[in-house]
Chain A
């Protein structure tokens, strides 16, 4: 009972505590300020950089010099700004752009009447361009498995000067897609469009020929990968079934066979210069939405 007395006697701390718990105006104002300004502060200074977009995203991958960035900017400038697309150089960082296609192209519009007003609207989506340089491909490969990605577009140069290099990258992408499809289990299939760009060039090969060459190359690659040396982390035991692209055993690899493991592959030819991708890529994107 004696204890409270000395406490009351110590005026500085006591008066401070009383004033703090009193319903005085300054304290009240300060409290209100803190309460209202904290979320504002958090919003303005901490979280402002994050754009809240939940648009479906399509990934652009492929070897350097295939025309990923120009395909993307051409698509954007045609659907959005109407200005001529800018020139492009070798990319070092990913970039996403907002694009749109007429809603009539979307897969879900199949059952709508042609006069439905919603057919006049636009479907918006993001195109995510990734660098194609060998040292920066991990940026794309980590993205492929992400659930945000609705489809992957593999852009290549139709002249196909380096079949092996191109097939190598395609192999990686297909393997990553297969892996994520098997993890996801049942669900919509992963979609891959092989866009054979620059078909207007004199040395360009037709899309069907490119498909055949790539399939042949991947067939060989599959075998040599299976026989190759293990990497350091692999202890060589337990994980006996090395990752094998596609279903089934040896024999010719076909893109069609990838459907069995949940990856749909399509091959299309076109040219950014002739502005052919607006329709072709648009239709494919629509099918994925």
Chain B
């Protein structure tokens, strides 16, 4: 019971491969797999950073997720817990579990064509989490009372002055061996310690029972409650029982595996202890000398093994960092198979950032991009005969491709058709175009209009730029031209205008109502250009989005703009109020920049919104969709 509440500090812990297989998991409370799935697709694939999280954690429903990746093994370690809890030790847990798991099962993971691995990770994990919980003193506290409650008769007798409620913390802080280990130990050792080394042995073991119960390996804690009275009455039998319990969650045999080898010896019955007393003493002394805190005997074994593995892992890390400069390392760089470290990547990454900046990618976007690529490369091995530079280049290419690839379909015609296929007299498909002054909103609007007219749609153009003089006249000219061009094709175009000075949002709303009444298929709304950092002008967009309810809001951005592109995209995306953002970008004037198409990356990177069209010339037909391979090729050239 109490153990369950302690467990719920963490809801679940999962170790997932990048190929989507759940290798190992520990569930303390049912967590819907969709939580982890949406985390993977949002954070790891789409690389969206939730506002305010700084990319360190991810919130979904009432859960918070923290994760750490092991790139060299293609593993992700994910901890899921309730957002209400403030768990400080999650990072450390993730880190140590990563080290443990990779050093224990790394060999198995490297084998080709394998999905599952043989792992009995539960004990390691439990010992880790128990130690961290204890050290932080947080959740472990909830578990302590039941154990102490069982002990109270003893306690009242022996150490009345000791405050019973928070033994967990007390014990954690007590560094010295037997006497202060816990409130329990003084109860028995006083009787036993003088007698013999075996007494010492049992004494050191006893607290471990308490700890065990508290930790509550689920099968064990149920029985621990029943056993504790027996323990109090008879010391010798207790040690025997301890053995059995340890067995129950490990192996069924008395002869445990190598992992439990100390515990098996330590937990032998008193008969055995008599027989092998000298041996037991010897071992005990060795232990005694080697470690200072003898709090828990049984779990200490596992902990010792765990610690040894962790130490080894960090040693290996340190040594690999040093050998990077050896002659063999240099050879590795040419031949391939070199494990990449941060130092190796530094120069290549700096060169890549420089290269991207030269392609007109905003510095902020270039830096974030390269650092995320760097994070994904650290720990990986270079392929045969591939230099670091080539590896970095392919990784950046893949990252650019991933950024530019839209998550869902951009087939505008199909969307309009689906919408118009509904009942007769339905609302027309509304597209509104926003952007900074002079980027080509009206021009691109008329290009889209031309494209729609060629597909025999009935299009209404709404002139909602009621601000700049000449804006309505400009659209009138476009409408007249398009009417002439499309007469043969069978499209119908009309201009909806209400002059200057009126509220744009109201005009847009009226235009949509008019379009619906007259049976238009598409309403294209032109808006006034506005500076993205002018809050007064931007604030009117929210009302506009509410009134006109556009199906698509497209933002026009110039390919010429440099660093400002990130801020433009962000501010416009955030201007439409809660739950509504941009649906796509039109990057205009692409014919004027040559291969410096970095604006594409900056804008998409800042918002995660795809590029729908590119403007590539002055004529009505100079509208193109984005070809990702083309863009990546230009950016990497």
**Cα of A232 to Cα of B591 in the assembled complex, Å:** 10
A204 at the interface (CB under 8 A from B): no
B630 at the interface (CB under 8 A from A): yes
Interface size class of B (residues with CB under 8 A): 35 or more
A64 at the interface (CB under 8 A from B): yes
A131 at the interface (CB under 8 A from B): yes
Closest residue of chain B to A136 (Cβ to Cβ) is B45
Among A81, A85, A89, A164, point to the contact of B16 (Cβ < 8 A): A89
B89 at the interface (CB under 8 A from A): no
Q: Is the CB of B616 within 8 A of A89?
A: no
Among A45, A94, A137, A229, point to the contact of B623 (Cβ < 8 A): A229
Among A47, A94, A135, A228, point to the contact of B19 (Cβ < 8 A): A94
> How close is B154's CB to chain A, nearest CB, in angstroms?
45
**Cα of A53 to Cα of B40 in the assembled complex, Å:** 31
Cβ contacts A162-206/B at 8 Å (1 or 0 each): 001100100000000000000000000000000000000000000
Closest residue of chain A to B612 (Cβ to Cβ) is A229
A45-B625 contact given A87-B25, A89-B37, A94-B19, CB 8 Å threshold: no
Q: Is the CB of A86 within 8 A of B627?
A: no
> How close is A206's CB to chain B, nearest CB, in angstroms?
24
Cβ contacts B1-20/A at 8 Å (1 or 0 each): 00000000000001011111
Q: Is the CB of A134 within 8 A of B407?
A: yes
Chain B residue contacts of A91, Cβ below 8 A: 18-20
A86-B45 contact given A220-B414, A220-B417, A221-B411, CB 8 Å threshold: no
Q: Is the CB of A69 within 8 A of B21?
A: yes
The stretch from B351-359, B398-406, B461-469 touching chain A is B398-406
**Cα of A161 to Cα of B115 in the assembled complex, Å:** 29
B437 at the interface (CB under 8 A from A): no
**Cα of A96 to Cα of B454 in the assembled complex, Å:** 46
> How close is A48's CB to chain B, nearest CB, in angstroms?
9
> How close is B40's CB to chain A, nearest CB, in angstroms?
4
Interface residues of B in 342-387 (CB under 8 A from A): 381, 383-385
**Cα of A47 to Cα of B627 in the assembled complex, Å:** 36
Chain B residue contacts of A89, Cβ below 8 A: 14, 16, 20-22, 33, 36-37, 40
Q: Is the CB of A97 within 8 A of B113?
A: yes
A135-B624 contact given A45-B337, A49-B384, A90-B37, CB 8 Å threshold: no
> How close is B238's CB to chain A, nearest CB, in angstroms?
38
B336 at the interface (CB under 8 A from A): yes
**Cα of A138 to Cα of B628 in the assembled complex, Å:** 11
Among A65, A98, A164, A225, point to the contact of B113 (Cβ < 8 A): A98
Q: Is the CB of B625 within 8 A of A86?
A: no
Interface residues of A in 223-245 (CB under 8 A from B): 224-225, 227-234, 236
Q: Is the CB of B409 within 8 A of A164?
A: yes
A46-B45 contact given A88-B22, A228-B413, CB 8 Å threshold: no
Interface size class of A (residues with CB under 8 A): 35 or more
B70 at the interface (CB under 8 A from A): no
Closest residue of chain A to B111 (Cβ to Cβ) is A51
Q: Is the CB of B630 within 8 A of A86?
A: no
Chain A residue contacts of B217, Cβ below 8 A: none
> How close is B110's CB to chain A, nearest CB, in angstroms?
9
B572 at the interface (CB under 8 A from A): no
Cβ contacts B607-637/A at 8 Å (1 or 0 each): 0000001101000010111110111000000
Chain A residue contacts of B621, Cβ below 8 A: 236
B455 at the interface (CB under 8 A from A): yes
Closest residue of chain B to A55 (Cβ to Cβ) is B113
Q: Is the CB of B414 within 8 A of A221?
A: yes
**Cα of A125 to Cα of B304 in the assembled complex, Å:** 44
Chain B residue contacts of A256, Cβ below 8 A: none
Q: Is the CB of A135 within 8 A of B402?
A: yes
Chain A residue contacts of B385, Cβ below 8 A: 46
> How close is A40's CB to chain B, nearest CB, in angstroms?
14
Q: Is the CB of B413 within 8 A of A46?
A: no
> How close is B606's CB to chain A, nearest CB, in angstroms?
16
> How close is A20's CB to chain B, nearest CB, in angstroms?
23
> How close is A259's CB to chain B, nearest CB, in angstroms?
26
Count chain A CB atoms within 10 A of each CB in B20, B23, B74 and give the residue with the most.
Answer: B20
Interface residues of B in 23-58 (CB under 8 A from A): 23, 25, 33, 36-37, 40-41, 44-46
A224-B413 contact given A93-B74, A232-B625, CB 8 Å threshold: yes
Among A50, A81, A165, A220, point to the contact of B409 (Cβ < 8 A): A165
B335 at the interface (CB under 8 A from A): yes
Q: Is the CB of A133 within 8 A of B414?
A: no
Chain A residue contacts of B631, Cβ below 8 A: 232
A-B contacts, CB under 8 A, total: 157
**Cα of A51 to Cα of B14 in the assembled complex, Å:** 29
Closest residue of chain A to B42 (Cβ to Cβ) is A90
> How close is B314's CB to chain A, nearest CB, in angstroms?
26
A73 at the interface (CB under 8 A from B): yes
Q: Is the CB of A138 within 8 A of B405?
A: yes
Chain B residue contacts of A110, Cβ below 8 A: none
> How close is A6's CB to chain B, nearest CB, in angstroms?
37
**Cα of A91 to Cα of B116 in the assembled complex, Å:** 15
A129 at the interface (CB under 8 A from B): yes
Q: Is the CB of B627 within 8 A of A231?
A: yes
B112 at the interface (CB under 8 A from A): yes
Closest residue of chain B to A236 (Cβ to Cβ) is B621
Closest residue of chain B to A47 (Cβ to Cβ) is B384
Q: Is the CB of A232 within 8 A of B590?
A: yes
**Cα of A64 to Cα of B498 in the assembled complex, Å:** 47
Chain A residue contacts of B234, Cβ below 8 A: none
A51-B41 contact given A88-B20, A136-B402, A231-B624, CB 8 Å threshold: no
> How close is B598's CB to chain A, nearest CB, in angstroms?
15
Chain A residue contacts of B44, Cβ below 8 A: 92
Closest residue of chain A to B624 (Cβ to Cβ) is A232
**Cα of A136 to Cα of B14 in the assembled complex, Å:** 23
B451 at the interface (CB under 8 A from A): yes
B408 at the interface (CB under 8 A from A): yes
**Cα of A88 to Cα of B14 in the assembled complex, Å:** 11
Chain A residue contacts of B16, Cβ below 8 A: 89
A210 at the interface (CB under 8 A from B): no
Q: Is the CB of A46 within 8 A of B335?
A: yes
Among B23, B45, B616, point to the contact of A135 (Cβ < 8 A): B45
A227-B74 contact given A64-B41, A90-B41, CB 8 Å threshold: no
A121 at the interface (CB under 8 A from B): no
Q: Is the CB of A224 within 8 A of B18?
A: no
Cβ contacts B412-442/A at 8 Å (1 or 0 each): 1110011000000000000000000000000
> How close is B35's CB to chain A, nearest CB, in angstroms?
10
Cβ contacts B103-130/A at 8 Å (1 or 0 each): 0000000001111100000000000000
**Cα of A98 to Cα of B115 in the assembled complex, Å:** 10
> How close is B61's CB to chain A, nearest CB, in angstroms?
17
Chain A residue contacts of B625, Cβ below 8 A: 228-232
Closest residue of chain B to A98 (Cβ to Cβ) is B113
Chain B residue contacts of A228, Cβ below 8 A: 411-413, 625
A229-B624 contact given A45-B337, A90-B40, A135-B407, CB 8 Å threshold: yes
- 13 other A-B residue contacts (CB within 8 Å) besides A87-B22, A133-B407: A50-B384, A85-B115, A88-B20, A89-B14, A89-B37, A92-B20, A93-B18, A94-B19, A134-B406, A136-B405, A164-B414, A229-B625, A236-B621
- What are 15 A-to-B residue pairs whose CB atoms are below 8 Å? A46-B385, A47-B384, A87-B22, A87-B33, A89-B40, A92-B19, A95-B17, A133-B41, A138-B405, A224-B417, A225-B411, A227-B413, A229-B624, A231-B630, A234-B624
